[in-house]
């Protein structure tokens, strides 16, 4: 599994790299995991999302916020500096459990990454992604997920909120889920008895390790 850190990159540029890598994997090349942060952008999925955007396109343009239609599943979400986005260009047609297990493994990689930083996280049945523990009195969303699949190879992926500023979510209904509230690793860690600064590089390292544990040598069906 090849891991490529793209740093801060515009959404469209990263999408072009995904499509190039997808073609390479379809031709027999190595699976690739891209790690990236994006300038502020709101993205719409195949299941819609325009109805869950609270402001006009003109307002977004005036604020320097991009609006992008994507080919991933899911509804509306947003990306911004301080959020770690991971794009796995992986074969799912050769993995046991197919797409369902792929999502479960991605969620598990994120959950274990959160635990590394002292943040309790879990799945929420019926809603792909990772949420804070309901034992804390309600669930807030730490990580959104949505993928596209072409001839058995995935692209798009997940977005894990790391830094404390999640204010861009105020412009949307998060993932189209009424009442869903965003949070981040930094915000949740600050609630702990021993809070320390969370560095993006360390989050990247931990998430990469957890991805390698689940995807570097996927079992064949």
Of 78, 114, 143, 175, which residue is the catalytic one? 175
Half-sphere exposure (Cβ direction) of 50: Cα atoms closer than 13 Å:
6
Cβ count near 55 (within 10 Å):
15
**What are 174's two structure tokens?**
């998060």
Residue pair 144/158 in contact (Cβ under 8 Å)? The answer is: yes
CA distance 61 to 123: 35
Query: What DSSP letter does each residue of 68-105 carry, written as one string?
Result: EE-SSSSS-EEE-TTEEEEEEE-B-TTBTTHHHHHHHH
Q: Decide if 78 is catalytic.
A: no
The alpha carbon dihedral of 153, 51, 67, 4 has a sign of negative
**What are 11's two structure tokens?**
């959404």
CA distance 106 to 109: 5
Q: Which of 156, 150, 129, 151 is nearest to 68 (CA)?
A: 156
Q: What are phi and psi of 190, to 5 degrees?
A: -65, -20
Quote the Cα angle for 54-158-89, to 5°.
Answer: 130
Q: Which active-site residues does the annotation give?
A: 175
């Amino acid at each position: 599994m090849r891991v490529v850190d793209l740093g801060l990159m515009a959404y469209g540029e990263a999408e072009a790299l995904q499509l190039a890598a997808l073609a390479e994997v379809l031709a027999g090349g190595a699976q690739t995991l891209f790690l990236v942060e994006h300038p502020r952008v709101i993205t719409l999925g195949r299941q819609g999302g325009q109805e869950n955007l609270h402001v006009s396109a003109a307002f977004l343009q005036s604020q320097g916020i991009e609006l992008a239609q994507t080919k991933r599943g899911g509804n509306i979400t947003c990306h911004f500096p301080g959020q770690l986005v991971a794009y796995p260009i992986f074969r799912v047609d050769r993995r046991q459990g197919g797409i369902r297990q792929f999502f479960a493994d991605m969620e598990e990689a994120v959950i274990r990454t959160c635990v590394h930083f002292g943040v309790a996280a879990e799945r929420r049945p019926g809603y792909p992604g990772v949420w804070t523990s309901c034992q804390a009195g309600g669930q807030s969303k730490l990580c959104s997920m949505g993928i596209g699949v072409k001839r058995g190879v995935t692209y798009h992926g997940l977005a894990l909120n790391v830094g404390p500023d999640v204010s861009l979510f105020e412009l949307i209904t998060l993932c189209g889920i009424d009442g869903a509230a965003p949070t981040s690793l930094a915000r949740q860690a600050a609630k702990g008895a021993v809070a320390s600064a969370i560095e993006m590089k360390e989050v990247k390292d931990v998430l990469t390790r957890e991805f390698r544990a689940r995807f570097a040598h996927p079992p064949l069906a």
